[in-house]
Amino acid sequence: MIANHLFGACLPTFGNCADRYCLSGYGGGGANMQEMLDLARQVEGLDGLELVGNWHVNDQNIRDVAKMFSDRGLKISMLVPDLWTQAKWGKGSLAAPDTPTRRAAVDEIKKVLDWAAELDCPYIDVWPGQDGYDYAFQADYLEAWKWLRDGLIECADHNDKVRLLVEYKLKEPRTHCFVNGAAKVLLLLAGIDKVGVLLDVGHAMAAGENAPEAAALLASYGKLDYLHLNDNYHCWDDDMMVGSVHLVEYLELVYWLKRVNYQGWLTLDIFPYREDGVRAATECHQWMEAFFRAVDRIGMEAIAEVIKQADACTSSQLVRKALSL
Amino acid sequence: MIANHLFGACLPTFGNCADRYCLSGYGGGGANMQEMLDLARQVEGLDGLELVGNWHVNDQNIRDVAKMFSDRGLKISMLVPDLWTQAKWGKGSLAAPDTPTRRAAVDEIKKVLDWAAELDCPYIDVWPGQDGYDYAFQADYLEAWKWLRDGLIECADHNDKVRLLVEYKLKEPRTHCFVNGAAKVLLLLAGIDKVGVLLDVGHAMAAGENAPEAAALLASYGKLDYLHLNDNYHCWDDDMMVGSVHLVEYLELVYWLKRVNYQGWLTLDIFPYREDGVRAATECHQWMEAFFRAVDRIGMEAIAEVIKQADACTSSQLVRKALSL
Amino acid sequence: MIANHLFGACLPTFGNCADRYCLSGYGGGGANMQEMLDLARQVEGLDGLELVGNWHVNDQNIRDVAKMFSDRGLKISMLVPDLWTQAKWGKGSLAAPDTPTRRAAVDEIKKVLDWAAELDCPYIDVWPGQDGYDYAFQADYLEAWKWLRDGLIECADHNDKVRLLVEYKLKEPRTHCFVNGAAKVLLLLAGIDKVGVLLDVGHAMAAGENAPEAAALLASYGKLDYLHLNDNYHCWDDDMMVGSVHLVEYLELVYWLKRVNYQGWLTLDIFPYREDGVRAATECHQWMEAFFRAVDRIGMEAIAEVIKQADACTSSQLVRKALSL
Amino acid sequence: MIANHLFGACLPTFGNCADRYCLSGYGGGGANMQEMLDLARQVEGLDGLELVGNWHVNDQNIRDVAKMFSDRGLKISMLVPDLWTQAKWGKGSLAAPDTPTRRAAVDEIKKVLDWAAELDCPYIDVWPGQDGYDYAFQADYLEAWKWLRDGLIECADHNDKVRLLVEYKLKEPRTHCFVNGAAKVLLLLAGIDKVGVLLDVGHAMAAGENAPEAAALLASYGKLDYLHLNDNYHCWDDDMMVGSVHLVEYLELVYWLKRVNYQGWLTLDIFPYREDGVRAATECHQWMEAFFRAVDRIGMEAIAEVIKQADACTSSQLVRKALSL
């Protein structure tokens, strides 16, 4: 737990993280799911983990996976349909230029919705990361928008036990993803009440957004369902540990999470390429607890009072006081 | 004209452009409106100009301004309410933290709507550039959103002869503007049918958007009303001449303007700090004509066929062919 | 003072800051130099101020300026030759494409060197902000490089009582400045021992540099002579207060300043457009003191030990401990 | 050939490109080196290929590799020591924090120098991509700088038949690489005459540099030895095809290559994840030929004349004329 929130992590935190240069990974982490789960349990306060279809879970191992989790007292916080780990999704999933691939994407999502129901997992995360384009004159933006909406509408009603969330990102793996920001995803989901949003804090930052503002906006439209936590240096999804760069932005984010009464998971989506996964996740946990303590120390009303003044010097004092400097 | 579009420019193109270091301006340009208009007439194909309230037009000179334009056969393509040239708007206009300033912003907009009607100007451009924040804990994002909507709703019905447009921008003069992207402005204007959008191509680029995609998205929601043309190196609103950096993006933009049947103005919003304004505007005109010719040379159907293939190599060939290389 | 460092500010901190939209300024601040100095004295710990030629000091007022400072017990920490506030420098100063302007720039620098000597000011800051280009095919990079070196070499020997420093910046007012980074300025000054470097921390950040690394590099070449402090959101020189965004980077910067035994001024270069200048400068002072205290609390050796481990989790713990979280 | 330059490509152009999400690759390309070479031969004008140690060449296969190339009339334009494809280099190579790894890096480089000599390959490319840091307080910048210099100095003299080049990059795979820009690499190599520089055009762009200026600067220090060609959207090393984004910048680059009398290879470093490698390389070839033709059409003197004017409108005309628009 972090404050009153369930605290999770993506499973690869405890595996062997690779990038496009070092495809075999930087080493460390568990060699299989059992080992990764055993590592995860060493993280103080960790309540559950996210799994990616194909990478971690499939029709064959789903029962085993459930047991591995229950044996260790861990929840499955999220299932992520595999719409991005295989070459077949390379030109898109829900908005692929060809009909069969779009069809396959919808089927994949429905299948994972059912898996999630079976596993008592409350959410699935549709991340249309391959849905976009790399070059000019390579996408029909209006068709793609319609395909995305049609696909999501079809999936929304498939299984009422599980809420489908959409995760946005500016770029990577495409140079341009269609669903690239908080306002864009809200526009996309207008009128599709059953579908919510997963806010990846680092995606917001890398998209040039101010994460606290993105969180407030999503919440005001009833769609702040789930959070991915990580940090980066802007411009790219570095998937670094919480607390590494944007301390002030995180502090303000925690204020807004409390302000909009966010009740959901706080789940790490970090890539500790060269770090020990257990220690990296533990660091993030400590930072998040520190931010919650800092906000509590100042108090919600006192902060609201500062915001009302709209005075940068007063805001600066608030931050320094919150951080005990 | 450019192709079948009216071609305009912001008046300061023909004045003396200043920045925060060289406040008295880099020189050149007309010393007063008459001189600026006389320069403007030297630009081949120029049909009209945009004026900014307070800077260019006010209660005292409005008749004179009308005459100056009609004498020269120039249209007023747009009036821009002054919500950003004076210290009183420093902390915001429609979303200022204090009620009297918000009230004053609404009044200013209504006044300029009436001026526009009087001058047979079809649009006003509400650019809430001062509505934002610079630091963390300096803005109540949800209140601001409500204030923006309330203000626009109040103004929307004021004068049916003139259409109110909203122009978005990521940052500057604030480090964060509330209305910062194409999807954000569409979300803001959901349900406010009478209010449209002004797409500044450079603002889209500087916001990390792909301008052709932004144009298509706005058009699909019935809100691509007016265009500002300029170029930049991403990250900042450099207000450079068309044709200086993003040739491919402009080529694709022209395709999409034709595809969505855009009928509106093509108006320059450039800051030729160190350039001759007449020559700079003429250059932009020539580039735009070249882009329209290039699209016509290939043909709309041939381009649509390439887009459908979603193949980067085919797209690359298209661009090279379009540019006669 | 901040720790053992003289603490300064640029004079416009206490004036009326303008940008290209609000040319008459956002208000507040002193109306003249006397008022600005009186405001400056209200900032706890402030030892001196920077002045810009033409804006603040000229042949006529130099004696008066000296007296105004001495009357108030303030030092002049730096004189900045005016190579950027007038249209005549619009296309460059030391690297202007025409010979007379280059000549005039050298003369201006020499004049200000002599003023500095007369005023017991130890440095002048040559900021070649107008030396660059905006468009492709607009500059001869190799000629410009030679002109910059020739000009600096000529000025270096002019007055041995004063050290000439060069300040680098990636862009603004040009879209590309020639002297755009720490390594570039070191390369430019190779063999010109008498000329040093002014590191503007925000310029380093906006140039994509890590400021602590830039400081260490400059110091290792014997050229970390003077510091400008401010903060920004990357990509642009926002000239915000210290402590607004990059807390971790500032913490590490302070470590490196102590490590390389930096003894120079810590001078604010902020643009408090919408803030009270006295309070803004005071905030910066408090943040800087806090960073120095935080480094002292941990201790130089303990930090060096952490760095040696090259382990991100250990580094993360260090930062959290330093900030008392 | 392109104009009078040898034209090359990195071998993975013809393989199966992977990223961190789709680790098994997006498909297509050759399954082994023979197949990749056979594909490469289909690219009109291709003279040779770059190979990466460990990935493509090793002690066991070096003779076979030589034969595969000679059988197909292809040159090996470059060998790249493997300092970045294995976990053992994760924390650095020449500037790794531990002595044995630094030692191993030097040995690896020497070994590849000897391989290159054996293969009649004139260059090796030391890309210290893992030499950097991800977090604050994770690197001793001054030690790292010394280690880099010491390592390069030791390798420089190892085999006089082969020239060692250093390739710079701002970031990736580390969030910060030490050798991150044109000026930085020149500073690093000051006094190390035998070591040259490989300019990756996309790295220059992603580092916020203007590639033509970077090329001119490197050439003026006698260190523009070899070029990698590709394009991107700034901010990240997208490794896209030439001609996709920065047409004007490439046009100016070609002018400067001719101006400084560059005689070296023009080698593609693209990642055609979702494209056919042969077609992608062919597109790049056609674009480069088009840029050379465009510069020739205008003429070197005419361009020099335009540059001398330092007038953006004249430069804009030049570009439009060069592109036949």
Which of D234, D319, D324 has the CB atom closest to B324's CB atom?
Answer: D324
Let me know the angle formed at the C-alpha of C131 by C128 and C132, rounded to the nearest 5 degrees. Answer: 135
Contact D23 A84 (CB under 8 A): no
Distance in angstroms (rounded) separating the CA atoms of residues A243 and A284 = 7
Domain that holds residue C114: 7-297
B 65-84 residues with CB below 8 A of C? Answer: 84
Which of A243, A248, A320 has the CB atom closest to C320's CB atom?
Answer: A243
Q: Is B280 on the interface with D (CB under 8 A)?
A: yes
pLDDT in tens, B107-155: 999 999 999 999 999 999 999 999 999 999 999 999 999 999 999 999 9
pLDDT in tens, C268-296: 999 999 999 999 999 999 999 999 999 99
Specify whether the CB–CB gap between A314 and C241 falls below 8 A.
Answer: no
- For testing the chain B interface, which of C134, C232, C245, C283 should be mutated: the one with the most B CBs within 10 Å? C134
- In chain D, residues with a C-beta closer than 8 Å to the C-beta of A172 are 19, 236
pLDDT in tens, C183-196: 999 999 999 999 99
The dihedral built from the CA positions of residue C236, C242, C246 and C250, taken in this order, carries a sign that is positive
Radius of gyration, CA atoms only, chain B = 19
- In chain D, residues with a C-beta closer than 8 Å to the C-beta of C147 are none
3-class state of residue B229 by DSSP: strand
Q: Is the preceding omega at residue D272 within 30 degrees of 0, hence cis?
A: no
pLDDT in tens, D261-320: 999 999 999 999 999 999 999 999 999 999 999 999 999 999 999 999 999 999 999 999
- For testing the chain D interface, which of B306, B313, B318 should be mutated: the one with the most D CBs within 10 Å? B313
Mean of pLDDT values over B51-67: 95
pLDDT at residue D282 in the model: 98
Half-sphere exposure of C31 (CA within 13 A, CB side): 0
Mean of pLDDT values over C211-235: 97
Distance in angstroms (rounded) separating the CA atoms of residues C105 and C126 = 10
Q: Is C283 on the interface with A (CB under 8 A)?
A: yes
Contact C313 A244 (CB under 8 A): no
Distance in angstroms (rounded) separating the CA atoms of residues C161 and C158 = 9
Among chain D residues, the shortest Cα distance to B316 is held by D244
**Paired tokens of D181:** 């820009």
Contact D252 C136 (CB under 8 A): yes
Specify whether the CB–CB gap between C285 and C1 falls below 8 A.
Answer: no
pLDDT confidence tier of residue B324, bands split at 50, 70 and 90 = confident
What ipTM does the predicted assembly reach?
0.97
Distance in angstroms (rounded) separating the CA atoms of residues D196 and D163 = 7
CA neighbor of D79 nearest in space, from D45, D32, D127: D127
Specify whether the CB–CB gap between D130 and D83 falls below 8 A.
Answer: yes
CA neighbor of B316 nearest in space, from B251, B267, B262: B251
Let me know the angle formed at the C-alpha of B81 by B80 and B86, rounded to the nearest 5 degrees. Answer: 115
Distance in angstroms (rounded) separating the CA atoms of residues C204 and C214 = 7
Q: Is A62 on the interface with C (CB under 8 A)?
A: no
Within a domain: B232: yes
Distance in angstroms (rounded) separating the CA atoms of residues D226 and B118 = 64
Distance in angstroms (rounded) separating the CA atoms of residues A227 and C28 = 42
Q: Is D138 on the interface with C (CB under 8 A)?
A: yes
Within a domain: A68: yes
Q: Is B301 on the interface with A (CB under 8 A)?
A: no
**Contacting residues for B275 by C-beta, under 8 A, at least 6 apart:** B241, D311, D312, D313
pLDDT at residue D139 in the model: 98
Specify whether the CB–CB gap between C122 and C160 falls below 8 A.
Answer: no
pLDDT in tens, D171-205: 999 999 999 999 999 999 999 999 999 999 999 99
3-class state of residue A253 by DSSP: helix
Instruction: Tally the domains of chain D.
Output: 1
Half-sphere exposure of D278 (CA within 13 A, CB side): 13
**Is the per-residue pLDDT at A324 higher than 90?**
no
- Beta carbons within 10 angstroms of residue B63's beta carbon: 11
Contact C213 D176 (CB under 8 A): yes
The distance in angstroms from the start CA to the end CA of chain B is 26
Question: E strands, chain C, where?
Answer: 7-10, 48-52, 75-80, 123-126, 132-133, 163-167, 176-177, 196-200, 224-229, 266-268
Name the phi and psi angles at C168, rounded to 5.
Answer: -105, 160
pLDDT in tens, A188-216: 999 999 999 999 999 999 999 999 999 99
State how far the alpha carbon of B34 is from the alpha carbons of A121, C80, D12, in Å.
70, 38, 62
What CATH number corresponds to the domain at position B144?
Answer: 3.20.20.150
**Hey, which chains touch D, using 3+ CB pairs under 8 Å?**
A, B, C
Distance in angstroms (rounded) separating the CA atoms of residues A208 and B205 = 12
Within a domain: B203: yes
3-class state of residue B143 by DSSP: helix
Within a domain: C150: yes
**Hey, which chains touch B, using 3+ CB pairs under 8 Å?**
A, C, D
**Paired tokens of D223:** 């260190």
Distance in angstroms (rounded) separating the CA atoms of residues C276 and D186 = 44
Specify whether the CB–CB gap between A198 and A266 falls below 8 A.
Answer: no
Specify whether the CB–CB gap between C55 and C80 falls below 8 A.
Answer: no
Q: Tokens 């191992």 — which residue?
A: A61
Size of interface B-D (CB pairs under 8 A): 91
Within a domain: A152: yes
pLDDT in tens, C43-57: 999 999 999 998 999
Q: Is A86 on the interface with B (CB under 8 A)?
A: no
The dihedral built from the CA positions of residue B298, B304, B309 and B313, taken in this order, carries a sign that is positive
- Beta carbons within 10 angstroms of residue A324's beta carbon: 14
Within a domain: A307: yes
- In chain A, residues with a C-beta closer than 8 Å to the C-beta of B303 are 137
**DSSP 8-state symbol, B258:** H
**Contacting residues for A151 by C-beta, under 8 A, at least 6 apart:** A94, A95, A102, A105, A106, A109
CA neighbor of A115 nearest in space, from A88, A84, A71, A81: A81
Q: Is C26 on the interface with D (CB under 8 A)?
A: no
Task: Tell me the average pLDDT of chain A.
Answer: 97
pLDDT at residue A257 in the model: 98
Closest chain C C-alpha to A284 CA, distance in angstroms: 9
- Across C171-188, b (16+ Cβ under 10 Å) vs e yields bbbbbbbbbbbbbbbbbb
Contact A18 D19 (CB under 8 A): no
Helix boundaries (H) for chain A = 33-40, 62-71, 99-118, 141-156, 182-188, 201-206, 211-220, 247-259, 277-298, 300-309, 312-322
A 223-252 residues with CB below 8 A of B? Answer: 248-249, 251-252
CA neighbor of A57 nearest in space, from A39, A30, A82: A82
- Beta carbons within 10 angstroms of residue C98's beta carbon: 11
Within a domain: C1: no
pLDDT at residue C192 in the model: 98
- In chain C, residues with a C-beta closer than 8 Å to the C-beta of D303 are 137
Closest chain C C-alpha to A290 CA, distance in angstroms: 6
- pLDDT means per 10 residues, chain D with 325 residues, are 97 97 95 97 98 94 97 98 98 98 98 97 98 98 98 97 98 98 98 98 98 98 98 96 98 98 98 98 98 97 98 98 86
Within a domain: A141: yes
DSSP for D85-100, written as a single string: SSGGGTT-STT-SSHH
Which of B136, B207, B308 has the CB atom closest to A140's CB atom?
Answer: B308
Which of D19, D90, D273 has the CB atom closest to A22's CB atom?
Answer: D90
Which of C207, C217, C315 has the CB atom closest to D208's CB atom?
Answer: C207
State how far the alpha carbon of B25 is from the alpha carbons of C64, C206, C312, D303, in Å.
28, 25, 49, 30
- Which amino acid is residue C214, in one-letter code? A
Closest chain B C-alpha to C31 CA, distance in angstroms: 15
Closest chain C C-alpha to D126 CA, distance in angstroms: 20
Contact C323 A323 (CB under 8 A): yes
State how far the alpha carbon of A305 is from the alpha carbons of A290, A300, A312, B224, C287, in Å.
22, 9, 13, 39, 22
Distance in angstroms (rounded) separating the CA atoms of residues B313 and C103 = 51
CA neighbor of A256 nearest in space, from A182, A192, A161, A187: A182
- In chain C, residues with a C-beta closer than 8 Å to the C-beta of D319 are 136-137
pLDDT at residue C324 in the model: 82
- In chain D, residues with a C-beta closer than 8 Å to the C-beta of B320 are 243, 283, 286-287, 290
C-alpha D177 chain-centroid distance: 16
3-class state of residue D44 by DSSP: coil
Distance in angstroms (rounded) separating the CA atoms of residues A66 and A60 = 12
Percent of chain B residues past pLDDT 90, beyond the cut: 99
Which of D84, D85, D238 has the CB atom closest to A175's CB atom?
Answer: D238
pLDDT confidence tier of residue C325, bands split at 50, 70 and 90 = confident
Among chain A residues, the shortest Cα distance to C309 is held by A275
**Paired tokens of C124:** 């002048």
Contact B141 A184 (CB under 8 A): no
